[in-house]
């Protein structure tokens, strides 16, 4: 096996040097040496920081690709005391934070902040203090560690979430057609929607093209409907006909067929790639992007890890970055296609484009399918379908071949793995590839890490591989999981506490549009493991309540931990001096209110680089 050579830590190319940020942190936590502590007092550190900031801003003004920074200086404070959760190393709470030109330059009490004009001359005669409403709190900008931006925008065109039966879903497609004259009058126009979930329907069978074409309004139209977990497509006969002929079989996927061997209109996992779909226009992509960003801002998201950028999506985000500052931070995982030539040594990572808001320095590899559609790779057959243990979407030899290559060439490797067998095989590949390597510099990730043996949980912690998990999946899947896996194996599923106790670092996401984009839904699910109405198969205490996270762990899991998982912990993820001023104002204190009130929390304001992009303060 080839030796892995380390590449520099790309990190976040902000204007604040990494060493400067580290010195600030050390000074505040008492970790600096006594000599440094004597020389670099708090005020001294602040002055050094501001000098560096001033020089860097001058440099940025000379660059045509970056906009002039805002001159805005203000403090955000609470009249009720320390209601700002900084999420620093010690989870400190503060009363005020001072923002200058998009960065945090001071934290402290209201009294301390009011006296800053003596030490910070640029403030002027008086500091602009913005008070948050009574009862509200401030947290760092929230990150979703695993979402799909453009796919979310597409799903909002014809959302199928919540339909109760096949017929209910067909009726929603019919209503969409009748409600849109441009669609109704053009029978050749592709109709695309998503979010249907067969696990909540009374029938255990799959939907088919015949179900769609039984409706006279739908019949003869090309219809493509993505499943809730994005691992299945339900399509009409017209959509199938435009893609024929299909191969007899496809590795890592299933073409569902009837007794005569004809496709029924359902394609699972890799078989989805067989369907020919219309090419998206720039206006299509832009419309989807705007919908996703607007909703993200309204929910307090300032950063999204896009889990699987295909070439079209990545090219679109690059074009948007070239046009100027992106409206949200995007950490992209570039899609790996095993049928294409290896590109890790010929492709340059995108680092900090769009005024530092677009980075694509990782690769996303799919190991297996999904539990919901029975494609997750298990060691033993499914309890409710003993004929299959699921399947791998690619041969394990591919993992052992490409993972060390990508790591060698400086790419973070993120692998989708759901079933216990898939996670075991991926960890085998990681273990073989990480021998003698600085894991902190590479930070490989398991995307989902849903079901693992106890031995593999321990190995995950030992190897230092990050577990990127989605708490809302747990409260969605808990209703059918035991039927699918049996009473013993199900204990290995969504075992978040066991992962942490094994020494693993986890980071939280939603996998939207599979689940709600609302990060507070994930926070609630992580600490309660009950449905929004307070129920679970194990009662009101939660589904396997011993696997719950604490509120502090959940808050860190959607702020500083995603920053670490995207190499930006020195500039994002907490409200500390020297970091970018990304923050969210929440209407109530999610760290103390009763759990059943968390989902009623409103986002009063979302700020990126100190600029409020949603709400007001």
CA torsion sign for 295, 301, 307, 311 is positive
Are 470 and 446 in contact by the 8 Å Cβ rule? The answer is: no
pLDDT at residue 141, rounded to an integer? 98
pLDDT in the model for residue 200: 85
Query: In which order are the strands placed within the sheet that holds 96-100?
Result: 103-108, 96-100, 73-77, 129-131
Residue 10 clears pLDDT 70, i.e. is over it: no
Q: Which of the pair, 301 or 355, is modelled with greater confidence? A: 301
CATH architecture entry for 149-274? Roll (3.10)
Distances (CA, A) of 576 to 99, 172, 272, 569: 11, 48, 45, 11
The domain spans of the chain are: 18-141, 149-274, 282-603
At residue 493 the predicted structure's pLDDT band, cuts being 50, 70 and 90, is: very high
At 420-441, the pLDDT tens digits run: 999 999 999 999 999 999 999 9
**Mean pLDDT, the chain, whole residue set:** 88
- Residue 249, token pair as written in the block: 């079989």
Omega before 245 cis (within 30°)? yes
Answer whether residue 69 shows pLDDT above 50: no
Residue 153 to residue 316: CA distance in whole angstroms: 14
Residue-level pLDDT at 202? 87
Interval 214-221 mean pLDDT: 96
Three-class secondary structure assignment of 88-125? CCCCCEECEEEEECCEEEEEECHHHHHCHHHCCHHHCC
Asked if pLDDT for residue 293 goes beyond 60, the answer is yes
At residue 406's C-alpha, the angle toward residues 403 and 408, to 5°, is: 105
- As given in the structure block, the two tokens for residue 37 are 């502590």
Q: Where are the beta strands (DSSP E) in 188-289?
A: 191-196, 223-227, 232-235, 253-257, 263-269
Ranges 102-116, 215-229, 566-580, most confident: 566-580
pLDDT, tens only, 235-288:
999 999 988 999 998 988 899 999 999 999 999 988 998 999 888 899 999 999
Q: Decide if 286 contacts 312 (C-beta within 8 A).
A: no
Q: How confident is the model at residue 72 (pLDDT cuts 50, 70, 90)?
A: confident
Tell me the DSSP string of 401-416.
Answer: HHHHHHHHTT-EEEEE
Q: How confident is the model at residue 204, as a pLDDT?
A: 63
In the DSSP assignment, the letter for residue 247 is P
32 or 108: which leads in pLDDT: 108
Instruction: Give the DSSP H or E segment for 312.
Output: helix 311-323
Gyration radius of the chain over CA positions: 25
Instruction: Work out the pLDDT band at 113, boundaries 50, 70, 90.
Output: confident
pLDDT at 186 (0 to 100): 94
Write out the two tokens for 281: 């226009």
Q: Count of H helices and E strands in the chain?
A: 22, 24
Question: Worst-scoring range by mean pLDDT, 196-205, 267-276, 313-322, 406-415?
Answer: 196-205
**pLDDT at 23 (0 to 100):** 33
pLDDT digits (tens, 9 = 90+) for 570-589: 999 999 999 999 999 999 99
pLDDT higher than 70, residue 305: yes
Q: What 3-state DSSP class applies to 336?
A: coil
Question: What is the C-alpha separation between 284 and 267, in angstroms, rounded?
Answer: 24
Closest CA to 97 of 87, 107, 110: 107
Contact call for residues 498 and 537 (beta carbons, < 8 A): no
Residue 472's pLDDT is what?
98
pLDDT at 31 (0 to 100): 34
Is 453 in contact with 470 (CB distance < 8 Å)? no
What is the reported pLDDT for 251? 86
Q: Measured between alpha carbons, how far is 551 from 522 in angstroms, rounded to an integer? A: 11
> Residue 168, Cβ neighbours under 10 Å: how many?
13
Largest CA distance in the chain: 84
pLDDT at 114: 84
In the numeric block, which tokens belong to residue 513? 């549009």
How many percent of the chain have pLDDT more than 90? 76
State the pLDDT at residue 419: 98
Helix axes 18-29, 42-62, angle to 10 degrees: 160
* CATH of segment(s) 282-603: 3.20.20.140
**C-alpha separations of 293 from 152, 225, 360, 440 in Å:** 10, 23, 18, 31
- State yes or no: pLDDT of 42 exceeds 90: no
Confidence of residue 228 (pLDDT cuts 50, 70, 90): confident
> How high is the pLDDT of residue 120?
66
């Amino acid at each position: 096996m080839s030796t892995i050579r380390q590449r520099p830590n790309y990190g976040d190319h902000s204007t604040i040097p990494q060493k400067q940020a580290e010195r600030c942190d050390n000074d505040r936590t008492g970790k600096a040496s006594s000599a440094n502590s004597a020389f670099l007092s708090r005020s001294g550190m602040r002055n050094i920081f501001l000098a560096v900031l001033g020089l860097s801003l001058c440099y940025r003004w000379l660059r045509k690709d970056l906009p002039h920074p805002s001159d805005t200086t203000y403090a955000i404070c609470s009249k009720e005391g320390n209601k700002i959760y900084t999420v620093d190393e010690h989870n400190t709470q503060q009363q005020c934070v001072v923002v200058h030109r998009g960065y945090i330059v001071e934290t402290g009490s209201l009294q301390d902040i009011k006296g800053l004009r003596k030490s910070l001359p640029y403030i002027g005669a008086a500091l602009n203090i913005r008070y948050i409403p009574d009862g509200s709190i401030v947290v760092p900008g929230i990150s979703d560690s695993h979402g799909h931006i453009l796919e979310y925008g597409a799903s909002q065109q014809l959302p199928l979430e919540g339909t109760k039966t096949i017929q209910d879903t067909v009726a929603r497609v019919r209503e969409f057609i009748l409600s849109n004259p441009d669609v109704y009058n053009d029978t050749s126009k592709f109709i695309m929607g998503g979010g249907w979930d067969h696990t909540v329907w009374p029938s255990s069978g799959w939907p088919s093209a015949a179900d769609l074409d039984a409706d006279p309004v739908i019949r003869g139209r090309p219809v493509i409907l993505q499943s809730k977990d994005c691992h299945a497509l339900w399509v009409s006969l017209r959509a199938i006909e435009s893609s024929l002929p299909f191969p007899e079989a496809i590795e890592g996927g299933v073409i569902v067929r009837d007794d005569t061997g004809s496709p029924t209109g359902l394609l699972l996992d890799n078989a989805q790639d067989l369907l020919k779909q219309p090419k998206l226009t720039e206006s299509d992509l832009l419309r989807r992007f705007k919908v996703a960003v607007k909703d993200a801002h309204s929910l307090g998201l300032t950063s999204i890890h896009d889990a699987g950028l295909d070439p079209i999506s990545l090219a679109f985000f690059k074009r948007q970055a070239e046009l100027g500052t992106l409206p949200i931070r995007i950490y992209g995982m570039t899609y790996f296609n095993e049928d294409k030539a290896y590109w890790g040594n010929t492709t340059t990572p995108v680092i900090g484009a769009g005024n530092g808001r677009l980075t694509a320095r990782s690769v996303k590899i799919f190991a297996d399918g999904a539990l919901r559609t029975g494609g997750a790779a298990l060691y033993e057959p499914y309890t409710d379908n003993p004929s299959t243990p699921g399947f791998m979407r690619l041969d394990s030899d591919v993992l052992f071949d490409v993972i060390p290559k990508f790591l060698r060439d400086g790419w973070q490797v993120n692998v989708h793995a759901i079933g216990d067998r898939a996670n075991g095989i991926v960890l085998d590949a990681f273990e073989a590839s990480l021998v003698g390597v600085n894991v902190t510099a590479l930070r490989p990730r398991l995307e989902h890490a849903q079901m693992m043996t106890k031995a593999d949980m321990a190995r995950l912690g030992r190897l230092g591989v990050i577990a990127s998990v989605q708490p809302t999946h747990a409260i969605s899947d808990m209703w059918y999981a035991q039927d699918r896996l049996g009473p013993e194996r199900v204990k290995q599923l969504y075992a978040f506490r066991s992962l942490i106790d094994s020494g693993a670092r986890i980071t939280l996401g939603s996998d939207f549009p599979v689940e709600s984009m609302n990060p507070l839904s994930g926070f609630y699910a992580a600490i309660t493991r009950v449905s929004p109405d307070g129920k679970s198969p194990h009662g009101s205490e939660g589904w396997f309540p011993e696997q719950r996270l604490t509120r502090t762990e959940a808050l860190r899991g959607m702020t500083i931990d995603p920053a670490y998982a995207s190499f930006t912990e020195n500039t994002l993820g907490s409200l500390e001096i020297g970091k970018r001023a990304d923050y969210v104002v929440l209407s109530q204190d999610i760290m103390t209110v009763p759990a059943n009130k968390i989902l009623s929390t409103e986002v009063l304001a979302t700020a990126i680089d100190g600029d409020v992009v949603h709400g007001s303060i």
